[in-house]
Amino acid sequence: MASKRRSIDEMLASSASGTSLLVLIQIFSKGVTFAANQVLLRNISPATLGISMHLDLYSVTALYFSRESIRIAIQRQPPDSHTIKEAVSVSDSDQDQAVEQERHARDADAALVSKNRASQVIVNMSYVCLGLGFPLVYLLATSYLHVAQAEVTQCPFFGESLLIMGLASLLELATEPFFAVVQQRMLYRTRAVVEMIAAIAKSFVTCAVAVWASHVGWEIGVLPMALGYLSYSLALMFSYLVTMLPVSRHESFSFSLVALDSSDGTHYLASRFSQPLVSLGASAFFQSVVKHILTQGDSMILAAMSSLEDQGVYTLASNYGGLVARIIFQPIEESSRNLFSKLLASGDNSNPDPEAVKAAKVHLIDIIHVYWIITIIAFVLGPTFVPLALHFLIGSRWTSPKVDSLLSVYCYYIPFLAFNGITEAFVSSVADSRELRRQAIWMSFFSACFAAAAFLFLQVGGLGANGLVWTNIVNMFLRIIWSYFFIKSYFGRHGISLNLSEISLGYHAYGAATVMLSVIHTAQYQQATGILGFIKLIGSGVAFTAVILYLERDFIVKKYMAIRGANTIEK
């Protein structure tokens, strides 16, 4: 029992440390990207930024369909669960010390073999991503060229940019074996170094090419973005080769596609691909098709129904509005998905360790509690402060009531994005093939709701880009509700309750939010202009944030001490 508890504590410690590193990665990379974007926005037009959204959608779609389902399946491969159980049984035995030491030594050797074999299994599975990527990149590019607007295809160097994006996507897919091992072994420091180098390369190349072209008066369209992404993929590959090849040589596994025997009782297709993981990946793939439509539906609707300038404005709002989501929520989601898989999807999925289930619930509730704190601040302050901040960051050609309004509405969307991310991370970590198929059916229903909401907000209501944000909120709300009931059912099957009161803030926080909303919307603040009015708004926002943090001080201090303790354990 002590060994199991220690193993769980080590996972939690690694996850806490990993989350911090992933957040730092995002802060650094987005900071570099943010600085580069300030230069870009002063050298490109809204129409060009709108076309770049098409390239991003192409690349994201190819990468998502090629690797998302495989990543979900790979997370279910336990690193060395068999040897953990062995170690537990030995530590509880009554053998004399010499025999116990000998058996511990054998267990350590067996653990290393099991760990290396598990790494080889996921390396082999990662090559499926590249196999899917080649036809997808070609088919998506060919299809897009046939349906793209003439204004898009006539953009200078658009064809060359599309080709470069396809090659860069394939190169990024080729790094999946390295990424899989990094995630499995929780090598977050390695990932931090690699992704920061890649982010610097992308931002530098994109910015340098755009500035140079503007300086010499050469119209090159979206070519800077394509070259920037290619530099990102090249830096990613080179950095992983340098950092991970020594690991494989030391640990005696290979990043090549290696044949595996069935000595562990697992059947391997073509002696290389785990049949259970292939089956799970196939189920996840069909679910990912519907999920991608829901996730990228706004971009698809914009590309089909809006002008390039409107697309550029929406892209700007999405980039700035989603900055917090990408910096904070995405790393938490990634590390939590990895942790849930380690805790609940290793060993016997139908009967995970009760201590692991309890630890998973505590982690989930803590994350949701933090999200509620961020949400209440974002809901109250975001719509007022974000447009004000925008005026200090971008050029005059982008400052307009349309952008301000869109950013204000986006502040309501970000919390829904966060809650959906963490709840679906839990679902994808524990759901079996049957449950994933059931989720895909519900996703189809949500797609219909998404389409209906888009029609109401865009066609009937005439809300334009703002309507797309409200459509996304409806979509996320439905997905959160489904995930909540799935999670509640999962814990219920293991004798653990989950109530809304456990994941909500106290009434005092909502009271403070109500008071602050009334303050913001008084005539005094609505009509305040100039530096004095701005200072009053800033002061009120800082005071409100301080009040919320004070009201939640017990939770914050408790979690801070837990993270410090986790870092001590890891060291």
| Cα distances (Å, whole numbers) of residue 353 to 1, 15, 87, 358 | 10, 18, 15, 9
Specify the pLDDT at position 99.
53
CA angle 385, 387, 388 (to 5 degrees): 65
| Averaged pLDDT for residues 530-534 | 62
Q: How many residues does the chain have?
A: 571
The confidence band for 303, taking pLDDT boundaries of 50, 70 and 90, is: low
DSSP 202-262: HHHHHHHHHHHHHHHT---TTHHHHHHHHHHHHHHHHHHHHHHHHHHHHHT--SS-----S
Q: In 3D, which of 232, 207, 209, 190 has the Cα closest to residue 63?
A: 232
Which of these ranges, 54-58, 161-165, 367-371, 558-562, has the smallest mean pLDDT?
Answer: 558-562
In a domain? residue 515: yes
- Write the pLDDT tens digit of every residue in 32-79: 776 776 777 666 776 777 788 788 889 988 998 999 889 888 877 665
Residue type present at position 328: I
- DSSP secondary structure of 249-307: HHHT--SS-----STTS--EETTTEEHHHHHHHHHHHHHHHHHHHHHSHHHHHHHHHS-
> Amino acid identity of 113?
V
Residues 462-518: tens digit of each pLDDT: 777 788 888 889 989 999 999 999 999 999 988 888 888 788 887 888 888 888 877
- Tens of pLDDT, residue by residue over 176-209, are 999 999 988 878 889 888 988 998 999 899 888 9
Write the pLDDT tens digit of every residue in 402-431. 777 777 888 888 889 899 999 998 998 888
Question: Residue 42 contacts by C-beta under 8 Å, 6 or more apart in sequence?
Answer: 395
Mean pLDDT score of the chain, rounded to an integer?
Answer: 79
**For residues 549-557, average pLDDT:** 86
Would residue 62 count as lying in a domain?
no
Taking alpha carbons only, the member of 53, 43, 59 closest to residue 311 is 53
In-domain check, residue 38: no
Strand partners, 274: 268
Range of the domain at 509: 505-570
Query: Is residue 1 a contact partner of residue 170, using CB atoms and an 8 Å limit?
Result: no
In whole angstroms, give the CA distance from residue 93 to residue 100: 8
Instruction: Identify whether 352 is part of a domain.
Output: no
| Residue 417 lies inside a defined structural domain of this protein | no
Note whether 425 and 481 are within 8 A (CB): no
Residue 521: inside a domain, yes or no? Answer: yes
How far is 100 from 319, CA to CA, in rounded Å?
58
Residue 198 included in any domain = no
Angle at Cα 132 formed by Cα 128 and Cα 134, nearest 5°? 120
Q: Is 469 within the bounds of a domain?
A: no
Residue 273: phi and psi, rounded to 5, are -110, 120
Q: What is the pLDDT confidence band of residue 21, given thresholds at 50, 70 and 90?
A: low
Total tally of structural domains belonging to the chain: 1
Residue type, 511: G
